[in-house]
Structure 1
Amino acid sequence: MGSKKRPKLDDELYEAELNRLQAELVEMQEWIRTEGRRLVVIFEGRDAAGKGGAIKRITEYLNPRVARIVALPAPTERERTQWYFQRYIEHLPAAGEIRLFDRSWYNRAGVERVMGYCTAAEYQRFLRQCPIFEQMLMEDGIMLRKYWFSVSGKEQEKRFRSRLTDPMRRWKLSPTDLESLTRWEEYSRAKDEMFVHTDLPGNRWRVVEAEDKKRARLNMIADLLASVPYQRVPRFDLDLPKRPPSTGYRRTERELQLYVADVAGTLEAPGATPHPYVDPEDADLPGEDGPSSPGSPEDAED
């Protein structure tokens, strides 16, 4: 059974704390960059558990040349003939870099295992090799952090329903995502077995309760910051130079250039302001007020 549902976090409180944490993420980035450290953060969990939203908030103010998101598509025919970890290795960070894996090599222990995309032998080989592979990364100096976003079946279904009618998020749904609703216990068993083999001393999974997306983001980012031994890096003082005197340059006539239309100006007309976008996943949907039955798998967090 999942923990008792807590009230939604106040928006102003959430934004204030998120901004504070994002400022600390910039400090952490600068330390990693100047010290030549390497950081890998893995985001795993149920479909619609909030992994993408957390990654978006983490990277919002970071340098995209330092912190990059790795979200790989399905393997090509050639990649299927490679050593399983091979296509992930080329995306590992060099000195001074951060890599955020939006799903990772753990696909084999999750969707590939449940949906039959890998053989039993390939799955067992993964469970043996994964701890060794990750130990090699850490021995080479890579800081590895693994986060599992835990969400109940009820909340997952609510988010799926909102995405069915939300044009901003419809692209996030696939037939495989929807089928996960009918394979809840299979995914749960796969996750439990994966944890037995890969939740190890010195390389633990960090479980994020994600029923409330905003609380989950704050908790996950705060944990990441606390786990990295970064220090504030002194910044060089910068002064804007004075603009030199004009040498006679004249700007090209506007009529000779193609300007985009002033669409923003049309919004200033009375009554022309569009309604702001509201994420339906943050709103309660009709018919979703309670679990189908006490202790049902759909109400359990995972």
Structure 2
Amino acid sequence: MTTDGPESDAKSWVEAELQDSFDEELEMEIDDERLMGDLDAIKALRHKSEIDRRLYFHELFRLQAELVKLQDWIAHTGYKLVVIFEGRDAAGKGGVIKRITQRLNPRVCRVVALPAPTEREKTQWYFQRYVPHLPAAGEMVLFDRSWYNRAGVERVMGFATPDQVEEFFHDVPEFERMLVRSGVKLIKYWFSITDQEQQLRFMMRIHDPLKQWKLSPMDLQSRIRWEDYTKVKEEMLDRTNISDAPWWIVEGDDKKRARLNCIHHLLTEVPYEDIPQEQVDLPERVFNPSYERKVLPDELYVPERY
């Protein structure tokens, strides 16, 4: 029996679109593996994921489908969600954020990654430059680093005085309680990795031209001051772990497991439900017999190199 015809063509087209979605994630996966085979020094340190690749992809796409449902529910109900991602440099925060936002509408879910404060911002109330980025109704905001810079890098590097740090610890619990009272759901993640795993990831960045931009002078200092960062992290978690907005620690040495665990936990923290979707019917295209499509000059087109 032949399978040719419109139904077969439609099935092939859907399969091709699905394959594109898999390829998008696979491209990032290959990017993680690209230099491993060439560098003996890195190969000796390499941490292999304990999760089967097929299971990883299956669960990732399943969780991303749930994130789409979460997004629809947030937009429908006017929920306000803030998710903070903190952790050591190269701990995997960016990879998780990328997988969360990969299938979502940027009008509903947006990422905030602020640069170093300007001279003017340094004179403002410390939380002031973060406030404009908080969500309105029906939005979720992911902070790739946040106001906790003051308790971490600013403290270790001497960018904040001891008095400023102490003032931060005094203010931040009440600031976060104010957010929660105003209707914001605040979730805070700390990504934890070992000394050896951070060394591996930094070496990858040093040797990979496509990732060298990720390696900043602050990253190099974080290696030198590993123990200093450990001490301030422990105090930060102890003094800012409040019932209204507790900290959640994500074990990050295994990137794949960290991504799945974090996304799964995020979904359990929000009481979202399926939102009924109106059936969408594609309207018939209107044909005008007198219309002639204009032929555009060849120089307007991008050259087809591939």
Whole-angstrom CA distance in 2 between matches of 1:80 and 1:74 = 9
Question: CA contact under 8 A between 2:190 and 2:250: conserved in structure 1?
Answer: yes
For CA contacts below 8 A with separation 6 or more, give which structure has more relative contact order.
1
Which residue of structure 2 lines up, in the alignment, with residue 20 of structure 1? 62
Which residue of structure 1 lines up, in the alignment, with residue 32 of structure 2? none
SS of the residue 2:64 aligns to: helix
2:158 counterpart (116, 131, 137):
116
1:85 counterpart (116, 124, 127):
127
Whole-angstrom CA distance in 2 between matches of 1:23 and 1:69 = 19
Whole-angstrom CA distance in 2 between matches of 1:106 and 1:47 = 14
What TM-score, normalized by structure 2, do the two folds share?
A: 0.83
Whole-angstrom CA distance in 2 between matches of 1:15 and 1:166 = 25
1:75 counterpart (117, 120, 127):
117
Cα displacement (A) at 1:256: 5.2
Cα displacement (A) at 1:11: 1.6
Cα displacement (A) at 1:6: 7.7
Whole-angstrom CA distance in 2 between matches of 1:11 and 1:248 = 55
Which residue of structure 1 lines up, in the alignment, with residue 246 of structure 2? 204
Whole-angstrom CA distance in 1 between matches of 2:95 and 2:182 = 30
Whole-angstrom CA distance in 2 between matches of 1:190 and 1:239 = 56
Whole-angstrom CA distance in 1 between matches of 2:244 and 2:175 = 14
Which residue of structure 1 lines up, in the alignment, with residue 279 of structure 2? 237
Deviations 1:229-287 (A, max 9, x none): 001100011100111222422222243551111122xxxxxxxxxxxxxxxxxxxxxxx
Cα displacement (A) at 1:165: 1.3
Which residue of structure 2 lines up, in the alignment, with residue 158 of structure 1? 200
1:37 counterpart (73, 79, 84):
79
What is the identity, as a one-letter code, of the residue corresponding to 2:297?
A: E
- Give me the CA root mean square deviation: 1.2
Which residue of structure 2 lines up, in the alignment, with residue 184 of structure 1? 226
2:183 counterpart (121, 136, 141):
141
Correspondence 1:45-56 to 2 at 5 A: 45-56=87-98
Question: CA contact under 8 A between 2:71 and 2:108: conserved in structure 1?
Answer: yes
Whole-angstrom CA distance in 1 between matches of 2:56 and 2:105 = 23
**CA separation of 1:93/1:127 partners in 2, compared to 1, >3 Å: closer, same or farther?**
same
What is the identity, as a one-letter code, of the residue corresponding to 2:73?
A: W
What is the identity, as a one-letter code, of the residue corresponding to 2:138?
A: G
Deviations 1:3-33 (A, max 9, x none): xx88532222111100000000000011010
Cα displacement (A) at 1:53: 0.4
Question: CA contact under 8 A between 2:49 and 2:255: conserved in structure 1?
Answer: no
Ranges in structure 2 where 5+ consecutive residues have no aligned partner? 1-46
Whole-angstrom CA distance in 1 between matches of 2:272 and 2:78 = 12
SS of the residue 1:100 aligns to: strand
1:129 pairs with 2:171 = yes
Whole-angstrom CA distance in 2 between matches of 1:174 and 1:103 = 15
Which residue of structure 2 lines up, in the alignment, with residue 214 of structure 1? 256
2:50 counterpart (8, 18, 21):
8
Cα displacement (A) at 1:180: 0.5
Whose helix proportion is higher, 1 or 2? 2
1:106 pairs with 2:145 = no
Whole-angstrom CA distance in 1 between matches of 2:248 and 2:48 = 20
What is the identity, as a one-letter code, of the residue corresponding to 1:259?
A: Y
Cα displacement (A) at 1:202: 3.3
Whole-angstrom CA distance in 2 between matches of 1:9 and 1:166 = 25
Question: CA contact under 8 A between 2:49 and 2:256: conserved in structure 1?
Answer: no
Cα displacement (A) at 1:41: 0.1
SS of the residue 1:33 aligns to: helix
